[in-house]
Amino acid sequence: MDLNRGPDAKAWARERVAEHSVPLNRDLPAWERARRQELHDAYHDAADDLAAEVSRRQGGRFLILSIHSFTP
């Protein structure tokens, strides 16, 4: 699962990356997709809550920096 993409994105649970197979993403059953969506949603809910708390404490001024590595 890719936390930087929404569950609707094709690349959210990729079966291949470059020339490499990702067996744990192949033929995901509905229950596993739902479990991963719950983890995805919980991560983003926590990030939203943290951003709201920091915004409240800092008077609305803060920076979120996210670095995502990838295979070109």
Residues of the chain above pLDDT 70, percent: 96
Question: Binning pLDDT at 50, 70 and 90, where does residue 71 land?
Answer: low
pLDDT in tens, 36-49: 999 999 999 999 99
What's the per-residue H, E or C state across the chain? CCCCCCCCCHHHHCCEECCEECHHHCCCCHHHHHHHHHHHHHHHHHHHHHHHHHHHHHCCCCCCCCCCCCCC
